[in-house]
């Protein structure tokens, strides 16, 4: 982040589905891991609900800088770790709970220099960790077919080929508003009430830059390894692909898929690694939606670890979108 960029005000940040999450995992005690620390909303709520300690993990170094203003009030009950979902079992073992709040933080969107927003001009960055390949790198180096694949798979954008062709023709693409204008030129004019035409393309590039689906798949398995028997995994998702992956993970690891074909040979039944705490995904109620419209697409799923050993799950079985080189 540039020296001129100001730290965002986190006082108004509202964690999504906070009350239902705390109610679902109650009573809260012991050591929890918050895999998306952000402004610290879930961490503070877990401590207030009875957790002895929270391991606060985030990829973004900026969040720990912001937390300096208040983390000291908890007298060592918060351990802050810069890291990723896929390695969370390296940060804690025999945990009483893990919380994952997926997607992008509104704080990141609000800083133009981070390059996440198509509403404000800034460098085309989108790196949550502030290191590695940026969105500009992808736009300026990927071939047209690879770009189209990313935009279609991760953004579910039907005009992906047309957009990829326009990006390649406009190189170098270096700023957020430049990319937004390119995308808008490939799509019909935005109608009242519709999302911005650039929404899907920006989402796709952000997911690719940060390997969000890969991190989610590995993070779910890492959480299973890190939890003690009886420990709980609570995941908040914001769009259909994330929710599908989390739902299928819990179905596979709780034995909830069953045998779809009654004529097929009976598969060997594995001891389930989770039992479901809530059978259906929890959505925000009307009160939360009126306070926080951002929560409208959020869903919460919660599972509790059994004593069965953790087992890996194939990414394809989770319904994870796979790019050409990842498909078997």
Tens of pLDDT, residues 40-93? 999 999 999 999 999 999 999 999 999 999 999 999 999 999 999 999 999 999
Counting other chains too, the contacts that 16-20 makes at CB distance below 8 Å and 24 or more residues apart are 16/101, 16/236, 16/238, 16/284, 16/288, 16/292, 16/294, 16/295, 16/298, 17/236, 17/282, 17/284, 17/288, 17/295, 17/298, 17/300, 18/42, 18/45, 19/288, 20/282, 20/284, 20/300
pLDDT surpassing 50 at residue 301 = yes
Three-state SS for 233?
Answer: strand
pLDDT tens by residue, 259-297: 444 554 555 668 999 999 998 999 999 999 998 887 889
pLDDT surpassing 60 at residue 238 = yes
pLDDT at 110: 85
Confidence label for 102 from pLDDT (cuts 50, 70 and 90): very high
DSSP conformational letter for 59: S
Q: CA-CA-CA-CA torsion for 123, 129, 134, 135, nearest 10 degrees?
A: -80
pLDDT tens by residue, 154-202: 999 999 999 999 999 999 999 999 999 999 999 998 787 788 999 999 9
Closest to 252 (Cα-Cα) out of 221, 228, 231: 221
pLDDT surpassing 60 at residue 218 = yes
Cα–Cα distance measured from residue 292 to residue 273, given in angstroms and rounded to the nearest whole number: 34
Three-state SS for 290?
Answer: helix
Least reliable range by pLDDT among 146-155, 182-191, 209-218: 182-191
Percent pLDDT > 90 in the chain is 80
- Partner residues linked to 255 by β-bridges: none
Confidence label for 13 from pLDDT (cuts 50, 70 and 90): low
Which among 141-150, 182-191, 315-324 has the top mean pLDDT? 141-150
Write down all domains in the chain, each with its CATH number in brackets: 18-106+213-324 (3.40.50.150), 114-210 (1.10.150.170)
Yes or no: say if 92 and 31 are a contact pair by the CB < 8 Å rule: yes
DSSP conformational letter for 188: P
pLDDT at 4: 42
Mean pLDDT over each residue of the chain, to the nearest integer: 91
CA 48-54-55 angle, to 5 degrees, is 160
pLDDT at 6: 52
pLDDT surpassing 50 at residue 3 = no
State the CB neighbour count (10 A cutoff) for residue 279. Answer: 7
pLDDT at 51: 98
H-only helix segments in 142-295? 144-155, 160-170, 176-184, 199-210, 212-226, 240-254, 286-291
Using the Cα atoms of residue 23, residue 298, residue 312 and residue 81 in order, give the sign of their dihedral: negative
């Amino acid at each position: 982040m540039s020296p001129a960029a100001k730290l965002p005000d986190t006082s108004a940040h509202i964690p999504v589905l906070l009350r239902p999450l705390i109610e679902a995992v109650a009573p809260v005690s012991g050591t929890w891991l918050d895999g998306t620390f952000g402004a610290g909303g879930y961490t503070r709520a877990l401590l207030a609900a009875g957790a002895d300690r929270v391991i606060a993990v985030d990829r973004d170094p900026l969040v720990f800088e912001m937390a300096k203003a208040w983390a000291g009030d908890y007298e060592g009950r918060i351990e802050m770790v810069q890291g990723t979902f896929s390695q969370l079992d390296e940060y804690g073992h025999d945990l009483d709970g893990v919380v994952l709040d997926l997607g992008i933080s509104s704080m990141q969107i609000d800083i133009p220099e981070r390059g996440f927003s198509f509403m404000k001009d800034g460098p085309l960055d989108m790196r949550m960790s502030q290191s590695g390949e940026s969105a500009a790198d992808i736009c300026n180096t990927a071939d047209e077919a690879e770009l189209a694949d990313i935009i279609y798979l991760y953004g579910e954008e039907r005009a992906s080929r047309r957009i990829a062709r326009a990006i390649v023709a406009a190189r170098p693409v270096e700023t957020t508003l430049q990319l937004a204008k390119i995308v808008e030129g490939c799509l019909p004019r935005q109608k009242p009430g519709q999302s911005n035409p650039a929404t899907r393309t920006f989402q796709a590039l952000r997911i690719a830059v940060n390997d969000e689906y890969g991190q989610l798949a590995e993070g779910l398995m890492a959480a299973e390894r890190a939890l003690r028997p009886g420990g709980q995994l609570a995941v908040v998702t914001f769009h259909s692909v994330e929710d599908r992956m989390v739902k299928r993970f819990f179905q596979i690891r709780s034995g909830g898929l069953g045998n779809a074909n009654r004529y097929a040979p009976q598969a060997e039944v594995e001891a389930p690694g989770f039992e479901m705490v809530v059978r259906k995904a929890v959505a925000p109620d009307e009160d939360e939606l009126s306070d926080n419209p951002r929560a409208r697409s959020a869903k919460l799923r919660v599972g509790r670890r059994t004593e069965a050993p953790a087992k890996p799950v194939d990414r394809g079985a989770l319904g994870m979108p796979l790019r050409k080189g990842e498909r078997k």
